[in-house]
Amino acid sequence: MTTWNLHGTRSHLLVCNGSSCKKARGEEVAEAIEREIEKQGADSRIHTTVTHCNGRCADGCIVIAYPEGLWYKDMTPKLGKKLVRGLLQGEAMEENLLYTYDEGLKAVDGRGAKGKKK
């Protein structure tokens, strides 16, 4: 059993590796994010958790950033690295942003709040 030292942790990335997101390169996305965190020396600052399905399979690979509450869709390894670099600079990545708790569902994919095409 692992006990993560939370001292210094500022961000938590949930990387979906449910079956649909795995098919959408979820494992590669998780590995790329973890490698970038290590490369940037940010292990104590950004924590990652690989999750089961987050209920947005059609948008996989899903990555969720807390405490901001930002949901990202169609994530790739390249975008995962960019997300990490942005977090370290205090900037939210705008690309592939699907949902925010403040503003609701983003219109990046033309889908409505229930995920149906408008």
CB nearer to ligand FES: pick between 42 and 77: 77
Report DSSP letters for 5-66, one per residue. Answer: --TT--EEEEEE-SHHHHHTTHHHHHHHHHHHHHHTT-TTTEEEEEES--S-GGGPSPEEEE
With CB under 6 A as the contact rule, which of the stretches 27-35, 55-63, 72-80, 91-99 interacts with ligand FES?
A: 55-63
Piece in contact with ligand FES (CB under 6 A), picked from 13-21, 38-46, 79-87, 102-110: 13-21
In the complex, which residues of this chain contact ligand FES (CB under 6 A)? 16, 18-21, 53-57, 60, 62
